[in-house]
Structure 1
Amino acid sequence: MSFFDRVKNLFSSKPTVSSPDEEAIVLNTPQVPISQEVITVPTSEVQPFSPEMDIIPFWLENEDALRDEGVIFGLSESKAEEKIGAIRNYFAHQTAELEKTVEYHSEKIGEINLLIEQKETRINELTEKARVLENRERTDHQLPRTFIGIVLSLAMCIGNYYLIDESILTNFPQNHYVIALGIFLAGMFNLFNPKSLFHEKDSSISWRQLLEEVGMPLAASVFVFVQSLDNQSFLRSFALFFFVFFLFLFAGKLLLSNLTVLKTDSGIWFDNLRLQKDKINKVQEWEDEITKLKLEIDEQRVEKWKIVDALKLPEAELKRLNERREMLVKLFESEFNLARSYREKLTGKQIQDILK
């Protein structure tokens, strides 16, 4: 019987007949001393539940008994928070293991999701690498032409050396090979200059730079010209001077530039070979890794759904207990607030009659 029904029966002329269930509730309800000023509830009624409690309190099993508790507390000076705290403490004990189980399974699901996300990221990276590698094209190079240019440059340098050696043979019959080599190296002095004035378009040329670039080749060519006058005509000697001078100026630079281009072209050639090899080996290796990762993801998803299925039961039970707790709290609060609102309007005798 609710508090509102008790108030109605209090002012009704007809005697109220209590049902056996209500009589049992009244017998189980502690007798509270009533006075006109203050109505109190024994403190033993609101002691928090200990974790060792295995027996459900009678007023949690029976909603009518819980209403009676709300009426008693509402008509007394006790606070509703005491009984509400006891209810929540009891259900906290009931849901502790369920909460641990739900938390454990949720963490496992989070770990599996993280692993799946990492593997999917790796699959995307490998797929992108394979796509980029497949779309890469071979780089063009001029390696054969460069190699031929080096051979021709060497042939010109060697021919220039023998031409010098033949020109000084008459005046230097002994050690002419060594002397010719010295003249050749002197004429090729401009090889050691990192810049060529003939290829610098936007830079100004000073007389010192011009002397450094042209001085030694010119001196070596004049020396060969003078030595060849003894056994050749002036016209032939001048032609020899002109030819050797320009060989000194350009043959060495041509040789060095071809060597530089050879380094670049050979690097491109090796890169093309590596690219062709990678398209065969690395793409296959990446595809095998992608297949392996997909199989691992499928296995982890199966494991995840097993955990999700195992999580449904404790989650449902935890939800049921929480809903039950909130329902009991609301039930107690409604009776408590209703009784508290009537407490000032009723006399002590009327309150005692309600509690009977």
Structure 2
Amino acid sequence: MSFFDRVKKLFSSTSVPSSTDENAPILTNENVAITNDSTVVPVTEVTQFSPEMDIVPFWLENEDALRDEGVIFGLSETRAEEKVGAIRNYFAHQTAELEKTVEYHSEKIGELNLFIEQKETRINELVEKSRILENRERTDHQLPRTLIGIILSLVMCVGNYYLIDESILTNFPANHTVIALGIFLAGMFNLFNPKSFFHEKEAVFTWRQLLEEVGMPLAASAFVFVQSLDNQSLIRSFALFLFVFFLFLFAGKLLLSNLTVLKNDSGIWTDNLRLQKDKISKSQEWEAEVSKLKLEIDELRIEKWKIVDVLKSPESELKRLNERREMLVKLFESEFNLARSYREKLTGKQIQDILK
């Protein structure tokens, strides 16, 4: 019977036994004691449960007994937090092992989810790499043309050397080979200038840079021209001068330019070969790794779902106990608050009748 029902029964009674009547029965309650100032003091002690306790308190097994506890504590000066703390302490002992089990399995599931996420990230990376590699195209190059240009440049340079050698042979019969080589190198000295006004359209050159570009080839060509006048006509010597001069200017530049282009084209050619090889080898390697990772993910998911199945039982039991705890706490608090709201309105005799 709830506290509200007891109050209604009390006030609906037609007669209340007088406390001075000698024949009236003495009202007692094993749960309460009435003091001179009509204050109700609960006799029931608030038990603090230890982990070794396995006995369930009677007022937790019986909801009516718990209501009585709420009424007793509500009519006394005792705070509800003491009894609520006792209830929570008891259920904390009951759920301790379950919480450890749930926490352990939840951590295992979290670890498995992390492993699965890492492997899925790796799969996405490999798929993206495969897509990028598949979409890469071969870079065009002019390696055959560059090689031909280098060969022609070398032929022109060698021909220029022999032409100079034949032109000075009459005046320098003993050391003409060495002298021809020196003249050739002197004319080719302008090769080492990184810029050329023949090729740099927008560059601004000073007269000093122009002299550096043209000076040595012009001097070498003039020397050959003077030496050839002894055994050739003026027209032939002048033609030789022009020919050697322009060979100095352009043949060397063409040779070095082709050597630079050869370096770039050979690098592109090597990259194309590597790309073709990677499209075969790396694609197969990445596909094999993706297949392996998928199998590992499937194994991890199977292990995860096994743990999830094991986790269902302790989770449901833990949920049931927590719901039971909250229900009992609310039940006690509702009776406690109701009794506390009526405490000031009732006399000690009426409180004693309610607690019968």
3-state SS, counterpart of residue 314 of structure 1:
helix
Counterpart-to-counterpart distance in 1, 2:30 and 2:91: 22
Q: CA deviation at 1:37?
A: 3.8
Which residue pairs with 1:343 in the alignment?
A: 343
Question: What does residue 180 of structure 1 align with?
Answer: 180
Could you tell me which runs of 5 or more consecutive residues in structure 2 were left unpaired when the two chains were aligned: 16-26
Q: Does 1:216 align with 2:212?
A: no
Does the 8 Å CA contact 2:164/2:180 hold for their aligned counterparts? yes
Amino acid at match of 1:127: V
- Give 1:29 shift: 4.5
Q: In structure 1, what is the equivalent of residue 267 of structure 2? A: 267
Q: Report the AA paired with residue 236 of structure 1.
A: R
Distance 2:199 2:8 in 1: 117
Letter paired with 1:135: N
Residues 191 and 253, structure 2, Cα contact 8 Å, conserved in 1: yes
| Letter of the structure 1 residue corresponding to residue 70 of structure 2 | G
Q: Normalising to structure 2: TM-score of the pair?
A: 0.94
Looking at structure 1, the residues matched to 29 and 353 of structure 2 have their Cα atoms a distance apart, in angstroms, of: 16
Matches within 5 A, 1:28-107: 29-42=30-43, 45-107=45-107
Q: Give aligned-pair identity as a percent.
A: 83
1:210, distance to aligned residue in structure 2 (A): 0.8
Is 1:148 matched up with 2:151?
A: no
The CA deviation string for residues 145-191 of structure 1, in whole angstroms up to 9 with x for no partner, is 10000000000000000000000000000011100000000000101
Distance across 2 between alignment mates of 1:142 and 1:9: 111
Residue equivalent to 2:121: 121
Q: Does the 8 Å contact 2:3/2:335 carry over to 1?
A: yes
2-structure distance, mates of 1:115, 1:350: 68
2:213 counterpart SS class: helix
Kept after mapping to 1: 8 A contact 2:32/2:72: no
RMSD, aligned α-carbons = 1.8
Question: Following TM superposition, by how much is the alpha carbon of 1:53 offset from its aligned partner in structure 2, in angstroms?
Answer: 1.2
Q: 1:34 Cα shift?
A: 4.2
Is the 8 Å Cα contact of residues 34 and 348 (structure 2) preserved in structure 1? no
Does 2:285 correspond to 1:285? yes
Give the distance between the partners of 2:71 and 2:267, measured in 1 at CA: 94
What is the 5 A alignment of 1:310-325? 310-325=310-325
CA contact (8 A) 1:34 1:352 kept: no
Other structure's SS at 1:45 match: coil
Cα 1:222/1:68, change in 2 over 3 Å: same
Say whether the 8 Å CA contact 2:38–2:347 is kept in structure 1: no
In 1, the alpha carbon distance for the partners of 2:62 and 2:14 equals 27
Q: 1:28 to 1:39 in 2, by over 3 A?
A: closer
| 1:36–1:347 Cα contact (<8 Å) kept | no
Aligned residues: 346
Unaligned runs of 5+ in 1: 16-25
Cross-structure match for 1:22: none
